[in-house]
Structure 1
Amino acid sequence: MGLPNIEILFKTVASNAIERGDRGLVALILKDAAAATLTNPIKMTSIGDIPAALSDENKGHIERAFMGYQNPPKQVIAYVIAADAKDYTKAQTALEAIKWDYIAVPQITTDEVTAFAQWIKDCRDTKGLKVKAILPNCTADHEGIINFATDDVRVGDTTYTAAQYCSRIAGLIAGTPLSMSATYAVLPEVDDVPHHTKNEFDALVDAGKFVLMNDGEKVKAARAVNSLVTTTQSKGSDFKKIKIVDIMDLLYSDIRKTTEDNYIGKVANNYDNKCILITAINSYLQELENELLLDKGKNDVGIDVDAQKAYLKAKGENVDSLKEQDIKEANTGSNVYLAGNIKILDAMEDLALNLYI
């Protein structure tokens, strides 16, 4: 009786969610004169793995990515292209076949940012690759783009542009546990950044900008938001938060990969097998509840009766004469129609404290 083992697989994937979220994967595209001597992609688990042939500038980008936050990234993956490369197409094509979570391109120019952001949008919206990019001063209005908008980041005697510090932000976000937010994450190496009033910071955040702030004692991230500004019925305000989108991406990737690897194309598409799949996915959601990523008791998946009804109607069947259970048990060819609800737990970010004497 092997089929129900998919439930165990889903539970195992879910139980590893915190570990995977604690230590994400960062990709970097670097331009370097030594590109021809290196074999891409370069996968590094610590700064000790940085190739000696790279320029000091590029070594610095990788080292900053490894600084992380609560944890360093599990891995930094560098794809090195020629210093005079005209575009990032070759690197992008190769990276589409590699697992990573966040990407930064420290040497990207202002006129290259929009096209790069469009690639990320295409990866997420049409290719099923739930990846994110940290891009400098990029008003992409999309949950897959973190618009890092702090220039003049002073570290010791060196002042960095937003582009040059994007690898640091990628590592910081990738090193933030899924149970936490990068809001107010401290960057201890930074001495100062441009100062703003509270109202100015509020306006920057509302404009979808990830910025750094000096609170008088330390430099830290302001609110951990992505570049999404325009909300719709399908993308509400929750989609503006990096933490929420990370968990959404985790759900999508885990369910899709586990189902494709162990279920789709391998079993008959009858009602019993659909129920087994539903049970397995709900077990996965319950495990994420236990990990405090989802709100307890508010997450479930079942057969999408409306979608099944539409499928049967398109096939010429009189659905009005069918009971709901008949619709659930109906033959839907190779299609599996499921629907459900999830409630992702946010991190504490807004405190209201009223003290009365």
Structure 2
Amino acid sequence: MGMPSITISFTEMAATAVQRGDRGIIAMILKETSLGLIKNPIVCTSAEDVPTSLKKENQEQINLALMGYINAPKKVIAYVIQDSAEDYSEALNYLKTVKFDYLVVPTVETDEQTTAVVSYVKAQRAANKLIKAVLPNTTGDNEGIINYATEEVMVNDKKYTTEQYCARIAGIIAGTPLSISCTYAPLSELTDCKRLTKEEMDAAVDAGKFIVWWDGEKVKTARGVNSLTTLTDKKNKQFQKIKVVDVMDMIANDIRMTAEDSYIGKYPNKYDNKCLLISAISNYFDRLITDDVIQSYEIGIDVSANRAYLKDNGENVDSMSDDDIKTANTGSYVFLTCKLSILDAIEDIVLPIAI
């Protein structure tokens, strides 16, 4: 008879999780003097797709993003607006309906639109569209904002400012597999960068800045952190890691979308079907363990939430056992509790050497 359909859906989603995580999608907002024959959006999966009708600077920005890291990004979706546009509202409204992982705007600092983009990303994440943005010199204090902050980098005699190089940083992050981090990713095309002391680099990372540095032989990224610096009980140090947030966002998106497509509205809300959902999600997590994305998990019915729901609906919960609470009718609600242990990458090695 085979597995129930919801289990199949979660199993299929898990089977492609790492592949999807390895090849992210970058959204880019570009400005041109005249749109001419340009049709939005411009979708590029390789350098051959970059339109020659774009000005040289914009062609370069797309190509920088496509360089990637271990993998190239899956694609770059560029939306072009006119130089005369007062803000990015046209492009940002369009991108609300587009699936992507990272947003980058090569002129955002020059155009004084950083605050608007930060607000946009925060609002989208609050609405469960879990995008991130790579922005120059931006104290976003949010896991969805990567604050790239190296003053300049060089390719021989050519220099790139912070905002000009954000596309390259977005490509590195989007091209990083879920099983590793973008920490210490080499930038082989660079010949030098703004050099900092060890103390200055430590201070930058602690301040939520993503930087690149010269290690004496080559330029490479520092620790892969986002701009989050204010920690709470709900957002601990793990939320400062780009890798960990990418995994959390992927899991949240996968579970929400698969449940919407294969579960919600399609099963009576009885205990057996709640267990079916738990089993299907467990299969998904089991695959992520196999693929070294997470280490362990716990998932089950949230008895406390069930009890609160029943009490609010007039049930005498004091006379009910935990099993009664767990199997009770909770209307249209399925209250679950989950705890994950997400695998980070090796980034800190402690090796005292005794002589």
Range of TM-score over shorter length: over 0.9
Deviation (angstroms), 1:3: 7.5
Once residues 298 and 286 of structure 2 are traced to their aligned partners in structure 1, the CA distance between those partners, rounded to angstroms, is: 9
Give the match for residue 323 of structure 1.
321
Per-residue Cα deviation, 1:237-279 (whole angstroms, up to 9, x for no partner): 0000000000000100000000101110111111111110000
> 1:171 corresponds to which residue?
171
Q: What SS does the aligned partner of 1:232 have? A: coil
User: What is the rounded CA distance, in whole Å, between the counterparts of 1:284 and 1:102 in structure 2?
Assistant: 24
* Corresponding residue for residue 233 of structure 2: 233
After superposition, the C-alpha distances for 1:121-171 in whole angstroms (9 at most, x for unaligned) are 11102x110100000000010000000001221122221111111110000
1:311 aligned onto 2:312 = no
Contact 1:108 1:163 in 2 (8 A): yes
Q: Secondary structure at the match of 2:193?
A: coil
Letter in 2 for 1:202: D
Structure 1 residue 2 displacement after superposition? 8.1
Quote the residue 1:181 is aligned against. 181
- Higher alpha-carbon deviation: 240-249 or 87-96: 87-96
Give the drift of 1:196: 1.1
CA-to-aligned-CA distance 1:200-253 (integer Å, 9 cap, x gap) = 100000000000100010000000000000100000000000000000001000
Counterpart residue number, 2:209: 209
Query: 1:309 touches 1:319 (CA, 8 Å); kept in 2?
Result: yes
Equivalent positions of 1:18-167 (< 5 A) are 18-109=18-109, 111-125=112-126, 127-167=127-167
Cα offsets for 1:86-117 (capped at 9, x unmatched)? 11111111111111111100011253111211
1:300 aligns to what? Answer: 298
For structure 2, list consecutive stretches of 5 or more residues without a partner in the other structure. none
Mapped partners of 1:216, 1:80: distance in 2 = 39
**SS of corresponding position for 1:247:** helix
SS of alignment partner, residue 284 of structure 1: helix
2:101–2:132 contact (8 Å) kept in structure 1: yes
Q: Deviations over 1:318-339 (max 9, x none)?
A: 1111111111111111111111
1:333 is aligned to: 331
Identity %: 52
Q: Does the CA-based 8 Å contact 2:5-2:262 persist in structure 1?
A: no
Does residue 289 of the first structure (1) align with residue 289 of the second (2)? yes
- The aligned amino acid for 1:46 is S
Give the match's secondary structure for 2:245. helix
How far apart are the structure 2 equivalents of 1:17 and 1:73?
Answer: 15
Residue by residue over 1:293-332, the C-alpha shift from the partner in whole angstroms, topping out at 9 and shown as x without a partner, is 001xx30211111111111111111111111111111111
Counterpart AA for 2:280: A
Deviates more, 1:322-331 or 1:199-208: 322-331
The aligned length equals 354
CA distance in 1, matches of 2:201, 2:79: 35
CA distance in 1: counterparts of 2:55 and 2:86, whole angstroms: 19
Partner of 1:7: 7
CA–CA distance in 2 between the matches of 1:3 and 1:70? 35
Q: What's the RMSD between the two structures over aligned residues?
A: 1.2
How far apart, in 2, do the equivalents of 1:205 and 1:272 lie? 48
Per the alignment, in what secondary structure is the counterpart of residue 180 of structure 1?
coil
Contact 1:34–1:53 (8 Å) recurs in 2: no
Question: Which residue in the other structure is 1:274 paired with?
Answer: 274
After alignment, is 192-201 or 240-249 more displaced?
192-201
Residue 35 of structure 1, CA deviation:
2.5
- Note the C-alpha offset of 1:356: 2.4
TM-score of the two chains, using structure 1 as the length reference: 0.97
**Distance (whole Å) between structure 2 residues aligned to residue 291 and residue 147 of structure 1:** 29
Task: Name the SS of the counterpart of 2:294 in structure 1.
Answer: coil
Runs of 5+ unmatched residues, structure 1: none
Question: Cα distance 1:170–1:279, how it changes in 2: closer, same or farther (>3 A)?
Answer: same
Q: Any idea what SS the aligned residue of 2:341 has?
A: coil
Q: Could you tell me which amino acid in structure 2 is paired with residue 133 of structure 1?
A: A
Query: Which structure 1 residue ranges, 4+ long, deviate > 3 Å from structure 2?
Result: none
Q: 2:195 is matched with which residue?
A: 195
> Which TM-score applies when normalising by structure 2?
0.97
Deviation of 1:36 after TM superposition, in Å, equals 4.6
- 1:318 counterpart letter in structure 2: N
